[in-house]
């Protein structure tokens, strides 16, 4: 029996799973680590902690089947900056995706035409290029020592194989990649003060990049390029073709929309990235999703509260803007703030609870609309996916059936399966291994009500923007 290990390098922990060729899980293991915040808006981690965790996971999952492990692949937190010197030593702690120190550098990049012309995307503080500029301006000695720049998962792969590589889906989030033509942008590198030679070799996510070093005891295992966390999750949910959609409802929310072709201009509103299937995807990110429910029920109501139904869907007259920590897509406004609109003496607690759910769902629909693509159905994942209320509201606001699956975390392992020839392509692999369960069929009458509610919702941000 052939086995494949997928590693998910997250912000709070590193998780791994080993699956057989049919997608059956043989074992899982995770190792936690911390995040350092040495100053306001700073978020850093030690790459050595990632490496230690990954080695523990490989040993645990391969125990007793070392010779049967055929492939390893890593999915990882995106955008993080890892800098290595000429001896491959880590120069400074990695600057993570949720680090906000590079606001000044982000404004600079968005103020020059080359950024969008070269990458097809708008700059955000979380992206890698603004971080490089920050180090250049604030830590010049560290910048001078830098000989290699890579992303978190690619540092792990380099340590495990000795091959300096990345994949297109993760590289797209660096703001150094010409996404349309799938090559490093020499001009963006010049703007950031680096050279293309400092960056990893580019691969498709499912391509083999090298072999696992002998010291790890996996003599028959190769490494595949892997993917950014969202693209890997999309593989695990079978979100691979136009019309598919995966929605993550965690602290933040994401809408993932596969595309066969590059859509020019879409990156001004959404992230316009490469997908792990060799094609492209659009992705909308809202900064507050299920966290709005946590804020409302636990901080304001001081307890869980879910005693409401969709009987009053889009009929309460109450609207909620979920911009508790600013908003990324489609507004890109760090100053945006949340609000209840339409309260009256007749407004009930149930009305306000429903409005919170509806507001988040409207924000997700805002992202889908900005993408300009049609959606047939959606897979809901993340913590909020377990809630029947979230499922029902999102389904009826978007007007699509909602599915759930338990295989989202196995996307990295699926990439290894394809890379090793277990399956000819990702669609075939997903058709065989991904098990989707219908959670909610949308109600056309309720959806029509939400269509009218969405028209009101769209008018609120432009009006309130002037007072933020």
Lowest mean pLDDT among 17-21, 112-116, 147-151, 311-315: 311-315
Bond preceding residue 330 cis, omega within 30 of 0: yes
- Tell me, what's the pLDDT at 307? 65
Position 302 scores a pLDDT of: 79
Please name the residue that has the structure tokens 């913590």.
383
CATH number assigned to the domain covering 3-229: 3.30.420.40
Catalytic pick among 99, 229, 351, 366: 229
Residue 228: name the closest of 334, 82, 80 by CA: 80
Dist CA 147 CA 154 (whole Å): 15
All structural domains of the chain with their residue ranges? 3-229, 239-406+435-468
CB burial string 130-167: b at 16+ within 10 A, e below = bbbbbbbeeeeeebebbbbbbbbbbbbbbbbbebbbbb
Examine domains 3-229 and 239-406+435-468 and report if their fold is the same: yes
Q: What confidence tier does 305 reach under pLDDT thresholds 50, 70, 90?
A: low
Is the per-residue pLDDT at 311 higher than 80?
Answer: no
pLDDT of residue 424: 98
| Mean pLDDT of all residues in 2-17 | 96
- C-beta pairs of 123-127 under 8 Å, 24+ apart in sequence: 123/175, 124/328, 124/332, 125/99, 125/100, 125/101, 126/79, 126/97, 126/98, 126/99, 126/100, 127/79, 127/173, 127/174, 127/175
Q: What is the pLDDT of residue 299?
A: 84
Mean pLDDT of 188-205: 99
Residue 146: strand, helix, or coil: coil
Question: In the prediction, which pLDDT does 304 show?
Answer: 66
Mean pLDDT over each residue of the chain, to the nearest integer: 95
In this prediction the pTM is 0.92
Which pLDDT tens digit goes with each residue over 102-116? 999 999 999 999 999
Is 229 among the catalytic positions? yes
Give me the CATH code for the 239-406+435-468 domain, please.
3.30.420.40
Share of the chain above pLDDT 70, in %: 99
pLDDT at 147 over 80: yes
């Amino acid at each position: 029996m052939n086995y494949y290990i997928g590693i998910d390098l997250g912000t709070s922990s590193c998780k791994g799973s080993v699956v057989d060729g049919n997608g059956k899980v043989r074992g899982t293991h995770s190792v936690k680590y911390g995040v350092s915040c040495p100053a306001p808006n700073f978020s850093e981690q030690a790459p050595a902690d990632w490496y230690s965790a990954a080695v523990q996971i490989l040993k645990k999952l391969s125990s007793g089947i070392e010779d049967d492990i055929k492939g390893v692949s890593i999915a990882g937190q995106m955008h993080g900056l890892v800098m290595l010197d000429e001896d491959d030593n880590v120069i400074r702690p990695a600057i993570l995706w949720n680090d906000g120190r590079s606001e000044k550098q982000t404004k600079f990049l968005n103020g020059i035409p080359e950024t969008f012309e070269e990458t097809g995307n708008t700059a955000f503080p979380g992206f890698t290029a603004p971080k490089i500029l920050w180090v250049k301006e604030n830590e010049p000695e560290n910048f001078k020592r830098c000989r290699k720049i890579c992303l978190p998962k690619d540092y792990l792969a380099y340590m495990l194989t000795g091959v300096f590589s990345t994949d297109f889906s993760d590289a797209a989030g660096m703001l150094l990649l010409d996404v349309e033509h799938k090559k490093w942008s020499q001009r963006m590198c010049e703007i950031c003060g680096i050279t293309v030679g400092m960056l990893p070799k580019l691969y498709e996510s499912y391509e083999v990049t090298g072999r696992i070093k002998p010291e790890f005891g996996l003599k028959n295992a190769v490494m595949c390029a892997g993917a950014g966390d969202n693209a890997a999750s999309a593989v695990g949910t079978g979100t691979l073709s136009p019309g598919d959609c995966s929605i993550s409802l965690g602290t933040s929310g994401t809408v993932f929309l596969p595309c066969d072709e590059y859509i020019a201009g879409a990156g001004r509103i959404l992230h316009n990235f490469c997908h792990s299937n060799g094609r492209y995807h659009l992705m909308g990110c809202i900064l507050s999703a299920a966290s709005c429910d946590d804020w409302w029920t636990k901080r304001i109501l001081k307890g869980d509260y879910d005693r409401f139904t969709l009987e009053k869907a889009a009929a309460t007259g109450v609207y909620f803007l979920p911009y508790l920590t600013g908003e990324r897509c489609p507004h890109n406004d760090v100053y945006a703030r949340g609000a209840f609109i339409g309260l009256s003496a007749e407004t009930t607690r149930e009305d306000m609870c429903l409005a919170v759910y509806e507001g988040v769902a409207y924000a997700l629909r805002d992202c889908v609309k900005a993408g300009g693509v049609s959606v047939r159905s959606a897979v809901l994942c993340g913590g909020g996916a377990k809630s029947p209320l979230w499922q029902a509201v999102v389904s009826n606001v978007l007007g699509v059936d909602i599915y759930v699956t338990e295989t989202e975390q196995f996307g990295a392992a699926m990439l290894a399966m394809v890379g090793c020839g277990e399956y000819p392509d990702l669609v075939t692999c997903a058709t065989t291994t991904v098990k989707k369960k219908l959670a909610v069929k949308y109600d056309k009458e309720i959806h029509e009500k939400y269509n009218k509610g969405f028209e009101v919702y769209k008018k609120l941000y432009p009006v309130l923007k002037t007072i933020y």
